[in-house]
A = this chain, B = another copy of it.
Amino acid sequence: MTTRDPRVPGLARLAALIADETRAACLLALLDGRAWTAGELARHAGVAASTLSEHLSRLVAGGVLAEERQGRHRYVRLADARVAQLVEDLAAQVAPGEAVRPRTLREASAGSAMARGRTCYDHLAGRLGIAVTDALTERGLLRQDTGFALTDAGVEWFGRVGIALDRSGRRPLARGCLDWTERRPHLAGVAGAALCRHALEAGWCVRVGSERAVVVTAAGEREFFAVLGVSVEGVR
């Protein structure tokens, strides 16, 4: 043992927080960007409330989750966009070859809704996310060939459509997030989040069920075509 990298203990500790099936299930669930109560997560993960309580404490202490207490409820969410990105990246690394085929019709149906459109933390994913990302690219608003960035025309487009881009933070304006089902990058970062938020607020899409799945509304179909020229035929 020579000069040890000082990051070793921290890296191992962070990975250990994710290295448990119950905690991993929580993190993936929390990728929907919303805050869950401890009880919801316990039921979701299929463990006793007492067990999950301890898991949450460790995740919060490790800076992976942020918590907010309201009355007798303990709400938790992913600490920030960086953590979300990290979990997504880790999960994406795993996906190839490990994709599990749905066993029941119910699962197949839910899975396909997720494949059509869903949120990934705070931006659009699935075929919907890819369709939007491709449309932006084809119209010269986003460049993926030399990296992953909006063009000047792209920045202008967001302003014209009425979607504000907060450029004050440290979060990149645009970045690629590898899509779990499509195996291609979709738009994430400030622009991806703003676009998703706008689409939900303006009623272009709505969430379905308690999962992360979203579907495009009739109005959304018109709007997506109007502003992006994207036909969401294959997406609905």
Residue A46 is within 8 A (CB to CB) of chain B in the complex: yes
Q: Which residues of B contact A189 (CB under 8 A)?
A: 147
Q: Which residues of B contact A146 (CB under 8 A)?
A: 149-152, 154-155, 173-174
Please give the distance in Å from A171's CB to the nearest CB on chain B.
Answer: 11
Please give the distance in Å from A102's CB to the nearest CB on chain B.
Answer: 8
- The answer to whether A19 and B16 touch across the interface, beta carbons within 8 angstroms, is yes
At the interface with chain B, which of A22-30, A123-131, A226-234?
A22-30
Q: Which residues of B contact A87 (CB under 8 A)?
A: 11
Given contacts A12-B19, A147-B147, A151-B146, contact A86 B93 (CB under 8 A): yes
Q: How far is the CA of A76 from the CA of B107 in the complex (A)?
A: 40
Size of the chain A interface, CB-CB below 8 angstroms: 68
Residue A175 is within 8 A (CB to CB) of chain B in the complex: yes
Contact partner of A12 (CB less than 8 A), chosen from B8, B24, B82, B150, is B24
In the complex, besides A1-B46, A3-B211, A7-B95, 5 extra interface pairs with C-beta distance below 8 angstroms are: A6-B100, A7-B98, A13-B19, A14-B94, A147-B172
A residues in contact (CB < 8 Å) with B:
1-21, 23-25, 27-29, 43-46, 82-83, 85-87, 89-91, 93-95, 98-100, 107, 110, 143, 145-152, 154-155, 167, 172-176, 180, 189, 210-211
Q: Which 6 A-B pairs have the closest CB atoms?
A: A147-B149, A1-B46, A10-B94, A15-B18, A147-B174, A16-B19
